[in-house]
Amino acid sequence: MARLAPQTHDEILAAAARRFGVTGYRGTSLQDIASEVGCSKAAVLYHFANKEAILTELMAPAIEALRTLDERIVAQPEPEGAQRAAAEGFVDLAVRFRAEIALLRGEFPNLLQQPGFTHIQQISERLLDALAARSERPSARVAAFVLVAGIAETCGEFADVPDDELRDALLALLRRALEPAR
């Protein structure tokens, strides 16, 4: 039986995170979230303007950490420093926010089209550029792209691996795979 009182903001966020994790962002409706909470769709809309607003709030801490990483990367004048900041910072971010990354698996390109996430594309491009040591060489750019995608996928897949072990393994992989600046 559905509860009559509107649910709290946090309950709706938790239910949305569970649903997004199972059926993806696009595969989840506001009604699905309401059913998960045990309330009406109107109660969900009382707390959030739409489904994008729910996702935006769920992702806000990760997006803020990505912005902070972007600032650190941009502040590095040398390609080597930018590459190191990008590699270590992205691994730390991916490990810390692996639950949020798991919610986006397979949907990242579509989500970049959402108004609340369009700035992420520019940050992603700067991250890739830094990982490639600001090189135009295709080999460096391809490696950076594959590593970012692989790290995101790995963090979503290996939720049972302790953070420190996952971080160490990912950093070791990055060190072997990235080309030094030339």
Q: Which two tokens stand for residue 123?
A: 């940050």
Kindly indicate the confidence band of residue 112, based on its pLDDT and cuts at 50, 70 and 90.
confident
Please tell me the predicted confidence (pLDDT) of residue 4: 44
What pTM did the predictor assign?
Answer: 0.83
CA end-to-end span of the chain: 65
Q: For 5-33, b where at least 16 C-beta lie within 10 A, e where not — what string?
A: ebbeeebbbbbbbbbbbeeebeebebebb
Between 80 and 104, where is the model more confident? 80
Mean pLDDT for the chain overall: 88
97: three-class secondary structure by DSSP: coil
Tell me the per-residue pLDDT of 65-86, one tens digit each, with 9 for 90 and over.
999 999 999 999 999 999 999 9
